[in-house]
Amino acid sequence: MAGFVWFQGFNDQFSDEFRENYRDMMIHFIKDVRKEYDTLAMPFVIGVLGTNMTKEGVDKNAVSVAQREAAKAPEFKDNVLSVESYQVYDLGARAIFDQGWAKNFAVWRAIGSDRPYHYLGSGTFFARLGDSFATAMTELIGKQKK
């Protein structure tokens, strides 16, 4: 396996136990995945929860902060990165959603398919995020080859 991308955490923000231990559990998860696939330095990209849409909002989310902190753990230098999903949030889709997606259903169906907690089901968002994940993974794989 060449690398691993993790993008999850929304429900964890609602549990005191999960939220308070997220950093340490993420570190254990990365180590467990690497052990399972016998690749102890496998590149690992963490997609930071960004449903708050702005840096200020994401900075207040304990799970998002813990995801960033896990990526910066000393033992993960040069083989784990975090990617900020709020930076590629589809604000256009959000504007349509906020105007009342049901009233503008034909327009809404062309750009979104879900609620904000799933990033509105926006193809634009997921294409942008996928590109960000690929860029981060390419960077990590490049560091391994040096």
The H or E element spanning position 111 is helix 105-111
Rounded distance, CA 56 to CA 76, Å? 26
Rounded distance, CA 111 to CA 113, Å? 7
Rounded distance, CA 135 to CA 100, Å? 35
Q: Where are the domains of the chain?
A: 4-90+123-144
Tens of pLDDT along the chain (146 residues) come to 899 999 998 778 788 888 889 999 999 999 999 999 999 999 999 999 988 788 999 999 999 999 999 999 999 999 999 999 999 999 999 999 999 988 988 988 998 888 887 888 999 999 999 999 999 999 999 998 87
Q: What is the pTM of this model?
A: 0.91
Q: Which residue has the tokens 């994940």?
A: 133
